[in-house]
Structure 1
Amino acid sequence: MSIILRMSLVMNLLSLLLSTAIVYSNQSTMPLRSFKMSENVTYDCIDIHKQPGLNHPYLKTHKIQMKPSLSRPELKMRTEKNETSNQNKIGCPNGTVPILRSTKEFIINSQMFAENNFHMLSADSPGTHIAGVRSSSGPFRGVKAYFSAYKLNVGKDQVSYSQIYVGSGSGSQVNYISAGWTINPGLYGDQRVWTFGFWKGKDGKGCYNTACSGFVQVSKVVPIVQPNDLKPGVPGFLDYFIHQDKNTGNWWITRFSKGAPSVDIGYWPKELFNLLDNGANMAGVGGVVQASRSGSIPPMGNGNFPNGGRLDSAIFTNIEVLNSNYEQRKMNSFHVDYLVDSEKCYGLKVGKKGFFYKNPLGFYFNYGGPGGNSCGV
């Protein structure tokens, strides 16, 4: 596949990620317990077998997988003192899982987000911009990275992401899974940094988090979507791992935390996809932003260009993949493309061997920038 075709696939994947319509429905199951985290954020503890993810028509006969077939302790790593954790603890009773409540305001915001924002990248409509790395040398069975997030000033009709992802494309069809951080005021109604998970499957549709059917939440403590109240200039960190189960083919999202066991948050069932059965053709990590209708582009990372200082801009470290045999490898042991499509506004600087808070960085890079009104399209 040529570089131009690969780049086109990447941009199509990212545009699909940003433009997919989101459908929210009211809870139809009485929660056993609820946790109000803030004024507009409440989690309901829903019976795991009655959660909204299982309402998908492809999952009528699906049997919940309670944990991955294989544990991977070798993928655990020491993490940093600033790692963002469940600051507001959620502890649903056994047999239930935390589902973010879909308020009327949330439904309205999601509809406005889908209808009024985001465009395909084109000469007359500023759109998606990226700074990251990816490999199209799959099949890959997973992707993992440890990465930072920062509080940013992002407009209501703008979005700024930091994510890991896997995907495959064939003709006009795309299968895609991503997870990470996002600041998306048009969707979530605030300037906070939210964790998220997203999928797009074989029917051309997809969904964020547990807003509609598809994703199966398994952890009773860590939801797939959660706000984080970061202080300006102080990073939060995530250690995320998207991986395909060797026995079932389901795609799991696992979170690693400092001084605690890893948490298998949940998974996207294999029934949702038709191009990911034997792994994903592409795996990548990086920052993504989406312009407002006026063409103004939000900041990415922490808003600073990478200048060589590991703490001066946003960072992705220990970037690894699982190869077709489920073997852990640094991503740069495969052919890697370095993607920066607007050097006026964003940058990417790949690091050499080093340490971060006394931890090995592995394959890593710094990235980001201020955005602005002259980033191109």
Structure 2
Amino acid sequence: MSTILRMSLVMHLLSLLLSTAIAHSNQRTMPLKSFKIRENVTYDCVDIYNQPDINHPLLKTHKIQIKPSVSRPELKMQTGKNEISNKNEIECPNGTVPILRSTKEFITNSQIFAEKHFHPLSTDSPGTHVAGVRSSGGPFRGVKAYFSGFKLNVGKDQASYGQIYVGSGSGNQVNYISAGWMINPDLFGDQRVWTFGFWKGKDGKGCYNTACPGFVQVSKVVPIVEPNDLKPGVPGYLYYSIHQDKNTGNWWITRFLRNAPSVDIGYWPKELFNLLDNGANIAGVGGVVQASRSGSSPPMGNGNFPNGDRHNSAIFTNIEVLNSNYEQRNMNSFPINYLVDSEKCYRLIVGKRGVFYKYPLGFFFNYGGPGGNSCGV
């Protein structure tokens, strides 16, 4: 082989390696394996100890926690319905975790939305409307709920969420963690239902999912953010919990699956927060929408007002909190507030004792509505 040919091959190989490194530069480490599960949706399996999310300035001395100190109980809740993302589309090799491959635009949008995120401890934000239940009888060590998600027609500059959350506020400072499902075309670039996690911490900043440093992914199978191809009118279900680790103080998100062991997806390290060391002052669940700049609000839940029939609108069931002693209690065991700020467009009905597809509901409510142009500000 001539010297010129050898040099040509070497340069070609270097070019390929460089282009691959650039494509994954936002992950800051070369993936061991990749999964393309949808058009424009690819996950890279990266070393759990070198994942990009631990590059946050507050985590310089953080030691990764592989599993919670106390195992969460396995729940056998067979609803007979679809669970959001309950598919083994991703299974990274041992020692690696799935990180959504993000474009620069997605990373930028995630930071913008985090900055513009509605004030999580109140409804005082232009264009934001809520329908949910919140308890302020803390401190709380966690919150858990089983809830539905639906495909909705949400405009490009609108958003519709279903979430569980914990938080604390002091003056103008807010610490906040939430997780659930969302439809947010400006953020994700499509109309699909995505699972998500969000945090706001001690520096007044935060982020969604793994788009910027903060959240530590631990599960090799279930990522914190994932698209779901739900059909119109057909619900998908999530059973999520957020809880503070009893020994480390980190805040874990756990996914309970039907007929399968629970999955500890990952956690938000305690170092990110300054108001959540000894639990959260509030815990809540519910729906949230963000109106477009024109003032038009999107649908919430499944787009229907609740009418007393628990099957006809979106639902949160089995709503529980962990008290200061890590004891699990129905949320209505504590003083609660019902948050509905625009009854023209969204409503909420708290249910009585009952069952849902043959399974106990615990404390539950139905919520939602069609939205529109007269929801207020």
TM-score, normalised via structure 2 length = 0.89
Give the match for residue 362 of structure 2.
362
Q: For 1:300-346, what per-residue CA distance to the aligned partner results, in whole angstroms no more than 9, with x for missing partners?
A: 00000000111100000000000000000000000110010000000
Taking a change above 3 Å as real, the CA distance of residues 82 and 54 of structure 1, as seen in their structure-2 partners, is same
- The question of 1:156 aligning with 2:156 is answered yes
Partner secondary structure for residue 241 of structure 1 = strand
Q: Distance in 1 between matches of 2:73 and 2:151?
A: 31
Taking a change above 3 Å as real, the CA distance of residues 119 and 165 of structure 1, as seen in their structure-2 partners, is closer
Q: Does the CA-based 8 Å contact 2:148-2:314 persist in structure 1? A: yes
Q: Does the CA-based 8 Å contact 2:76-2:258 persist in structure 1? A: no
Q: Does the CA-based 8 Å contact 1:192-1:227 persist in structure 2? A: yes
Q: Distance in 1 between matches of 2:123 and 2:329?
A: 36
Bigger Cα displacement from structure 2, 294-303 vs 82-91 = 82-91
Taking a change above 3 Å as real, the CA distance of residues 70 and 107 of structure 1, as seen in their structure-2 partners, is closer
How far residue 38 of structure 1 moved from its aligned partner, in angstroms, is 1.3
Unaligned runs of 5+ in 2: 1-23
Taking a change above 3 Å as real, the CA distance of residues 119 and 333 of structure 1, as seen in their structure-2 partners, is closer
Q: For 1:223-249, what per-residue CA distance to the aligned partner results, in whole angstroms no more than 9, with x for missing partners?
A: 000000000000000000000000110
Q: For 1:141-171, what per-residue CA distance to the aligned partner results, in whole angstroms no more than 9, with x for missing partners?
A: 0000000000000001000000000000001
Give the match for residue 336 of structure 1.
336
Q: Distance in 2 between matches of 1:114 and 1:83?
A: 27
Give the match for residue 61 of structure 1.
61
Equivalent position amino acid for 1:44 in 2: D
How far residue 77 of structure 1 moved from its aligned partner, in angstroms, is 3.8
Give the match for residue 40 of structure 1.
40
Equivalent position amino acid for 2:162 in 1: S
Partner secondary structure for residue 186 of structure 1 = helix
How far residue 37 of structure 1 moved from its aligned partner, in angstroms, is 1.1
Give the match for residue 186 of structure 1.
186
How far residue 58 of structure 1 moved from its aligned partner, in angstroms, is 1.0
Q: Does the CA-based 8 Å contact 1:25-1:211 persist in structure 2? A: no
Q: Does the CA-based 8 Å contact 1:348-1:367 persist in structure 2? A: yes
Give the match for residue 233 of structure 1.
233
Partner secondary structure for residue 280 of structure 1 = coil
Taking a change above 3 Å as real, the CA distance of residues 277 and 122 of structure 1, as seen in their structure-2 partners, is closer
Q: Distance in 2 between matches of 1:118 and 1:254?
A: 23
- The question of 1:276 aligning with 2:276 is answered yes
Q: Distance in 2 between matches of 1:111 and 1:249?
A: 25
Equivalent position amino acid for 1:187 in 2: L
Q: Distance in 2 between matches of 1:27 and 1:184?
A: 23
How far residue 261 of structure 1 moved from its aligned partner, in angstroms, is 0.2
Unaligned runs of 5+ in 1: 1-23
Taking a change above 3 Å as real, the CA distance of residues 277 and 110 of structure 1, as seen in their structure-2 partners, is closer
Taking a change above 3 Å as real, the CA distance of residues 272 and 112 of structure 1, as seen in their structure-2 partners, is closer
Partner secondary structure for residue 318 of structure 2 = strand
Equivalent position amino acid for 2:101 in 1: R
How far residue 114 of structure 1 moved from its aligned partner, in angstroms, is 6.9
Taking a change above 3 Å as real, the CA distance of residues 134 and 112 of structure 1, as seen in their structure-2 partners, is closer
Q: Does the CA-based 8 Å contact 1:76-1:262 persist in structure 2? A: no
Q: Does the CA-based 8 Å contact 1:240-1:256 persist in structure 2? A: yes
Taking a change above 3 Å as real, the CA distance of residues 281 and 113 of structure 1, as seen in their structure-2 partners, is closer
After TM superposition, the structure 1 = structure 2 runs for residues 141-290 of structure 1, keeping only pairs within 5 Å, are 141-290=141-290
Partner secondary structure for residue 70 of structure 1 = coil
Taking a change above 3 Å as real, the CA distance of residues 129 and 109 of structure 1, as seen in their structure-2 partners, is same
How far residue 85 of structure 1 moved from its aligned partner, in angstroms, is 3.2
Partner secondary structure for residue 26 of structure 1 = helix
Q: For 1:259-287, what per-residue CA distance to the aligned partner results, in whole angstroms no more than 9, with x for missing partners?
A: 10000000000111110000000000000
Q: Does the CA-based 8 Å contact 2:143-2:322 persist in structure 1? A: yes
Q: Does the CA-based 8 Å contact 2:320-2:328 persist in structure 1? A: yes
Q: Distance in 1 between matches of 2:108 and 2:203?
A: 25
How far residue 119 of structure 1 moved from its aligned partner, in angstroms, is 7.2
Equivalent position amino acid for 1:82 in 2: N
Taking a change above 3 Å as real, the CA distance of residues 80 and 249 of structure 1, as seen in their structure-2 partners, is farther
Give the match for residue 106 of structure 1.
106
How far residue 75 of structure 1 moved from its aligned partner, in angstroms, is 5.8
Bigger Cα displacement from structure 2, 350-359 vs 99-108 = 99-108
Equivalent position amino acid for 2:304 in 1: N
Q: Does the CA-based 8 Å contact 2:148-2:235 persist in structure 1? A: yes
How far residue 70 of structure 1 moved from its aligned partner, in angstroms, is 0.6
Q: Does the CA-based 8 Å contact 2:219-2:263 persist in structure 1? A: yes
Q: Distance in 1 between matches of 2:141 and 2:114?
A: 31
Partner secondary structure for residue 262 of structure 2 = strand
Taking a change above 3 Å as real, the CA distance of residues 25 and 312 of structure 1, as seen in their structure-2 partners, is farther
Q: Does the CA-based 8 Å contact 2:304-2:313 persist in structure 1? A: yes
Count matched residues.
352
- The question of 1:348 aligning with 2:348 is answered yes
After TM superposition, the structure 1 = structure 2 runs for residues 110-129 of structure 1, keeping only pairs within 5 Å, are 110=110, 126-129=126-129
Q: For 1:160-198, what per-residue CA distance to the aligned partner results, in whole angstroms no more than 9, with x for missing partners?
A: 000000000001110000000000000000000000000
Q: Distance in 1 between matches of 2:159 and 2:223?
A: 21
Taking a change above 3 Å as real, the CA distance of residues 347 and 249 of structure 1, as seen in their structure-2 partners, is same
Q: Distance in 2 between matches of 1:303 and 1:52?
A: 37
Q: Distance in 1 between matches of 2:278 and 2:342?
A: 34
Give the match for residue 322 of structure 1.
322
Bigger Cα displacement from structure 2, 125-134 vs 42-51 = 125-134
Give the match for residue 304 of structure 1.
304
Give the match for residue 10 of structure 1.
none
Pairwise CA RMSD: 2.0
Q: Distance in 2 between matches of 1:185 and 1:307?
A: 29
Q: Does the CA-based 8 Å contact 1:118-1:291 persist in structure 2? A: no
